[in-house]
C-alpha cells in the first residue's frame, strides 16, 4: 500500500469507515503504512447505522490520530428516493434501495478524493468480492483495494494479531476496538441485517472459496471434501455471477496463490457450471 500510494504520487488516502471490521483493518493498515497524517476517514451514517458503529469508528480514528469526519446520508437518500419515486411507484423496496446507500457513500468519497487528490482505499475483502457481496460504484468505488485478497476469516485473524502487537511507532495499545472484532458482521443497509442472512458462515464460505478459487475444484470435489452440496452450489453460483463486478473492481495486493487480478482470467460470459 505504501508503494502504491507513494510511487503513484498520492499525498494521502481516504477511507470510508463503517464501524465494521473491514474498514477498521484497512484504517489500521493505512496508519501503519503511511502515518496518521496521510490518512483521513469519513463516516457516512444512515438511519440503519447502529450507534455503536458510530462510536467505535470515532474512537478508533481518534485513538490513531487521523482526521475524521461525518456526513449523514439520510437527506441524500431521501432526495434520490424522491427523484426515483415516479419510476418506482408500486415496486417493493429491495436491494436497489440498499445499494443506493452504498452508492451515495461512494459518490461522497470520490468527491472528497477528487477535491483533495487523495486516493480512496476500498475496504472489501476476498470473501465479499468472490461472492459479489458488494456494490458496484458503491463500496467498490475507489482507487486501491487493500484487502481484496484477504478472506474474511483472515481479516479477523489479522485484526487480533495487530491488536496483540505494538505498531511501528511503538504504540502497544490495541488499535482496533474489541467490539468491532466481536460483533456480528453487517452491511447495515437495512434493519437487523447480518452478512449471514445472505452468505454461509465465513469459516465454511472461505473453505469452499479456497478450494474453488485457488484449487480449481468443482462442485463434486468440494462436496467430497465434506461440504453440503446445496451450500457449495450456492457459493459457486455467486462466484460466477460476481465476475462482472470483479472485472470493474480496483486493483489491490495479492497475498494468496490466486488473487482476483492477473491470475484470475475467467470469462464473464459463460454457460459452464461446475
Partner 1 sequence: MKLVVAQFNAVVGDLAGNTRRIAQIARQAHAEGAHVVLAPELALCGYPPEDQLLRPAFLAACADALAVLARELADCTGLHLIVGHPWRPAKRQAVDDDLRAASEWEPQHGPMAFNAASVIREGRVLGTYAKRELPNDHVFDERRHFRSGRDAGLGPLVLEVQGLRLGLLVCEDVWTDEPARLACAAGAQLLCVLNASPFHLGKAAEREQRMARLARAHAVPLVYANLVGGQDELVFDGASFALDAQGRVQARAGAFVEQSLALHCDAAGAPAGGVEPLPELESQA
- Residue 220 interacts with partner 1 (CB under 8 A)? yes
Q: Around Cβ 65, how many Cβ atoms within 10 Å?
A: 14
- Residue 229 interacts with partner 1 (CB under 8 A)? no
Binding test (CB under 8 A) with partner 1, winner from 70, 203, 216, 228: 216
Residue whose C-alpha cell reads 501503519 in the numeric block: 32
* Extended beta strands in the chain, E state: 13-17, 39-43, 67-70, 119-122, 144-145
**Which letter, b or e, does each residue of 39-59 get, where b requires 16 or more Cβ atoms within 10 Å of its Cβ?**
bbbbbbbbebbeeebbebbbb
- Residue 274 interacts with partner 1 (CB under 8 A)? yes
Terminal CA-CA length for the chain: 35
- Residue 248 interacts with partner 1 (CB under 8 A)? no
CB of 259 to partner 1, least distance (A): 13
Residues 39-98 interacting with partner 1 (rule: CB under 8 A): none
CB of 235 to partner 1, least distance (A): 15
**Which letter, b or e, does each residue of 223-251 get, where b requires 16 or more Cβ atoms within 10 Å of its Cβ?**
beeebeeebbebbbebbeebbebbeebbe
# of chain residues touching partner 1 (CB under 8 A): 15
Segment contacting partner 1 (CB under 8 A): 12-20, 27-35, 198-206, 260-268?
260-268
Segment contacting partner 1 (CB under 8 A): 12-20, 106-114, 148-156, 261-269?
261-269
- Residue 269 interacts with partner 1 (CB under 8 A)? yes
CB of 38 to partner 1, least distance (A): 36
Q: Which is nearer to partner 1, 162 or 211 (CB)?
A: 211
Q: Around Cβ 96, how many Cβ atoms within 10 Å?
A: 11
Dist CA 103 CA 82 (whole Å): 16
Q: Which residues bind partner 1 (CB under 8 A)?
A: 216, 218, 220-221, 264-274
Amino acid at each position: 500500500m505504501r508503494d502504491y500510494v507513494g510511487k503513484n504520487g498520492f499525498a494521502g488516502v481516504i477511507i470510508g469507515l463503517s464501524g465494521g471490521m473491514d474498514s477498521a483493518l484497512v484504517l489500521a493498515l493505512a496508519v501503519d503504512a503511511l502515518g496518521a497524517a496521510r490518512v483521513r476517514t469519513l463516516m457516512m451514517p444512515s438511519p440503519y447505522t447502529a450507534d455503536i458503529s458510530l462510536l467505535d469508528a470515532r474512537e478508533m480514528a481518534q485513538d490513531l490520530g487521523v482526521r475524521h469526519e461525518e456526513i449523514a446520508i439520510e437527506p441524500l437518500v431521501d432526495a434520490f428516493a424522491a427523484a426515483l419515486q415516479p419510476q418506482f411507484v408500486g415496486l417493493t423496496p429491495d436491494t436497489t434501495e440498499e445499494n443506493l446507500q452504498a452508492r451515495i457513500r461512494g459518490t461522497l468519497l470520490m468527491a472528497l478524493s477528487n477535491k483533495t487528490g487523495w486516493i480512496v482505499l476500498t475496504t472489501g475483502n476476498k470473501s465479499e468480492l468472490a461472492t459479489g457481496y458488494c456494490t458496484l460504484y458503491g463500496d467498490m468505488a475507489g482507487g486501491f483495494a487493500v484487502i481484496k485478497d484477504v478472506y474474511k476469516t483472515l481479516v479477523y485473524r489479522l485484526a487480533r494479531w495487530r491488536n496483540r502487537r505494538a505498531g511501528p511507532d511503538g504504540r502497544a495499545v490495541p488499535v482496533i476496538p474489541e467490539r468491532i472484532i466481536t460483533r456480528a458482521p453487517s452491511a447495515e443497509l437495512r434493519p437487523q441485517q447480518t452478512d449471514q442472512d445472505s452468505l454461509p458462515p465465513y469459516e465454511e464460505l472461505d473453505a469452499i472459496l479456497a478450494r474453488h478459487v485457488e484449487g480449481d475444484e468443482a462442485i463434486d470435489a468440494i462436496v467430497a471434501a465434506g461440504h453440503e452440496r446445496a451450500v457449495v452450489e450456492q457459493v459457486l453460483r455467486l462466484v460466477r455471477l460476481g465476475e462482472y463486478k470483479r472485472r470493474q473492481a480496483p486493483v489491490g495486493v495479492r497475498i494468496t496463490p490466486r488473487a482476483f487480478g492477473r491470475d484470475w482470467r475467467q470469462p464473464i460470459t459463460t454457460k459452464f457450471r461446475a
